[in-house]
């Protein structure tokens, strides 16, 4: 099929490259000429493992091209997939880009003969596609639904594993306005994936995306709430508690089968909180949506509150351990919100660094990929510096806080902490370090969920 993907951000570019890799002819659309040029030169304009190689392959084969002309892309395609941003603005989702995109696509459909499917892949609150998008398409095109198709196909991509998630999905959700829309959208995926296709209406598809992220975010905050209770009680290790909880047969396969730990149990782990472009934004948008509809969510605000307080709880324990943070050098191991990405949006490291600076500490942040983006949030100056070298960050440090579980940080020998630091206090914000080995090497260990 011929597919236009409007928006070449994280979701759009991964979607376009993966569909092209599976044989479709894809045209990616972006207003920024430098991004279009980079794609056509086989260069990924964003960080995502595997994507650069895949992009080189599909651009070289001619199956993927990029353009600034939305008109050209829509006229030459059977399906248009909108993957533009839906940022938060004053606490609620901003649908400006969605409305603009629908209007631009609709204007092209006015001059285009034949049936064309418009699919929304951006994360939008329920009721967006069947009202705002549909009405905008009708007004701009002069056509009625049926003359054009309308679908909502949410994405479930994890940063750092997005290509894998797209090419090997666990389910494909298609919200369709009618049978013809569903049939064409199904054709996009036909024969490509061995995954169940779930047909729902447009609003249900929109809600599935939010419900998925809200659940995962809540599992993380639940784990951190349990960790805080373990710390308060003393003599309890939250790591052991949560490991035992996830051994429940409702998480693991029934007895007699090969035990395979489901990935969802990875969200039942104590740490310094979640971040990224999805969980915080989507939970906030869902809360705002509920209030607009006359329902005040109760669980979701608590999920955000626990997450907001978690990094500060960790620093409170550090301050009690050191007596004062003023003048202390603190090494921050990890700036991105998770390994495998350069994304620092809503990273716990931001709150930790800001609080340390307010307390008069000197901060040295280390990360293999996230420095450039962190410098846009907290510029390197005065008491904050960044490096890619963990040893440089640890040198003469009074404490080291593991914020992001990059593999390289997990491989630091315990003796290196003891040898390089002035005061070898290691704060394990992800509960992935070996406490016994660190203490044997002469370090003090402080971990989330362990008093």
d(CA 102, CA 53): 32
Give 257: exposed, middle or buried? Use CB within 10 Å, 0-12, 13-18, 19+. exposed
| Strand arrangement of the beta sheet that strand 116-120 belongs to | 64-67, 25-29, 2-6, 79-82, 116-120, 148-152, 172-176, 197-200
Closest CA to 288 of 92, 90, 126, 123: 92
DSSP 265: G
Residues taking part in catalysis:
278
d(CA 370, CA 274): 16
In whole angstroms, how large is the CA radius of gyration of the chain? 24
Residue 241 dihedral angles phi and psi, to the nearest 5°: -60, -50
Residue 214 dihedral angles phi and psi, to the nearest 5°: -65, -40
- Contact present, 181 and 117 (Cβ < 8 Å): yes
DSSP 68: S
Closest CA to 242 of 218, 264, 268, 266: 268
45-61 burial, b if ≥16 CB within 10 A, otherwise e?
bbbbebbeebbeebbee
Dihedral over Cα of 376, 377, 380, 382: its sign: positive
Residues 6 or more apart whose CB falls under 8 angstroms from that of 109 comprise 74, 116, 137, 140, 141, 143, 148
């Amino acid at each position: 099929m011929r597919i236009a993907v409007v928006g070449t951000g994280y979701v759009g570019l991964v979607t376009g490259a993966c569909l092209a890799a599976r044989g479709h002819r894809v045209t990616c659309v972006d207003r920024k000429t430098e991004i279009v040029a980079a794609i056509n030169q086989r260069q990924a304009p964003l960080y995502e493992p595997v994507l650069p190689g895949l992009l080189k392959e599909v651009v070289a084969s001619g199956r993927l091209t990029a353009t600034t002309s939305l008109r050209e892309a829509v006229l030459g395609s059977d399906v248009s997939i909108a993957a533009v941003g839906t940022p938060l603005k004053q606490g609620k989702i901003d649908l400006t880009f969605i409305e603009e995109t629908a209007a631009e696509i609709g204007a092209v459909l006015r001059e285009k003969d034949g049936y064309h499917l418009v699919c929304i892949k951006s994360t939008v609150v329920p009721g967006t596609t069947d009202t705002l998008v549909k009405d905008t398409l009708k007004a701009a095109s002069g056509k009625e639904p049926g003359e054009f198709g309308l679908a909502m196909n949410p994405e479930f991509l994890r940063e750092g594993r997005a290509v894998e998630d797209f090419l090997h999905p666990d389910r494909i959700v298609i919200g369709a306005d009618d049978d013809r829309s569903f049939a064409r959208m199904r054709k996009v995926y036909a024969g490509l994936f061995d995954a169940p296709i779930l047909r729902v209406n447009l609003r249900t598809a929109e809600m599935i995306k939010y419900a998925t992220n809200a659940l995962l975010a809540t599992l993380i905050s639940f784990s951190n709430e349990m960790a805080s209770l373990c710390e308060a009680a003393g003599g309890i290790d939250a790591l052991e508690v949560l490991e035992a909880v996830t051994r429940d047969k409702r998480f693991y396969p029934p007895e007699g089968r090969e035990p395979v730990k489901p990935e969802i149990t990875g969200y039942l782990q104590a740490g310094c909180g979640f971040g990224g472009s999805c969980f915080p934004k989507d939970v906030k948008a869902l809360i705002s949506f509920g209030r607009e509809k006359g329902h005040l969510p109760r669980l979701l605000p608590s999920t955000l509150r626990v997450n907001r307080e978690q990094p500060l709880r960790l620093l409170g324990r550090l301050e009690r351990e050191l007596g004062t943070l003023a003048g202390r050098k603190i090494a921050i191991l990890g700036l991105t919100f998770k390994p495998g990405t350069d994304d620092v949006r809503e990273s716990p490291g931001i709150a930790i660094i800001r609080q340390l600076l307010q307390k008069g500490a000197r901060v040295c942040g280390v990360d293999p990929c996230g420095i450039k983006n962190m410098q846009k949030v907290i510029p390197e100056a005065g008491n904050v510096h960044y490096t890619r070298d963990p040893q440089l960050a640890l040198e003469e440090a009074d404490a080291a806080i593991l914020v992001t579980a990059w593999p390289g940080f997990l491989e630091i020998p315990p003796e290196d902490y003891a040898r390089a630091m002035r005061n070898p206090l290691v704060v394990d914000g992800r509960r992935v370090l070996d406490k016994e080995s660190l203490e044997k090497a002469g370090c003090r260990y402080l971990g989330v969920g362990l008093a």
